[in-house]
Amino acid sequence: MTSMMFSSAEYIRELRTSGFSQEQSETISKGFENIRKDMNQLATKEDLRELKDDVKELKKETQNLRKELHEGINGVRTELNGNINGLRTELRESINGLRTEFKNDLKNIKDEIFAKMDEYSENILNRWIAKSSVLIMTATAAIIGTIAFMHR
């Protein structure tokens, strides 16, 4: 922005010399001063070129930031997918391990039950044989005693 040099006193003197009254000269001078102040607020062509260059630079920066953001998001997405797949694999392995452990535990319990059943069956069979043997011996003794009694 450029600034114009202006002297109110000189301008008023020139207006007075041209035939304007003091009041008219001061009013015109104040109006001109206001216009000059407003013009100082206007942008120049150079200001607009700089603004245009700044806008271009901002657009480039925005595009770069957008690209970086997308790359960052894609990186996080890839990392999350990897983590999720890793967790899935770990979960499957854990489930398969638990399944194997459960099957082994069931087999051990089953083997223990069958071992106890065999032990009980053997005990029952041994008791039955022992009691049967006693019964057979008692019966045999009774038969022999009866035969001996009858042969006398």
74 with 138, same domain? yes
Per-residue pLDDT of the chain (152 residues; tens, 9 = 90+): 445 556 788 888 888 888 989 999 889 888 888 888 877 778 788 888 999 999 999 999 999 999 999 999 999 999 999 999 999 999 999 999 999 999 999 999 999 999 999 999 888 888 888 888 888 888 898 899 899 888 87
91 with 144, same domain? yes
DSSP element (H, E) containing 151 = none
With tokens 């009013």, the residue in question is 27
User: How many domains are there within the chain?
Assistant: 2
The Cα–Cα gap between 36 and 25 comes to 16
pLDDT, tens digit (0-9, with 9 covering 90-100), for 87-104? 999 999 999 999 999 999
35 with 52, same domain? no
With tokens 């100082």, the residue in question is 40
Two tokens, residue 65: 């930031």
The Cα–Cα gap between 46 and 2 comes to 10
Range of the domain at 56: 43-150
80 with 141, same domain? yes
Q: Report the pLDDT value the prediction gives residue 6, as an integer from 0 to 100.
A: 62
129 with 59, same domain? yes
Cα-based angle 115, 117, 121 (whole degrees, multiple of 5)? 120
Provide the strand spans (E) within the chain.
Answer: none
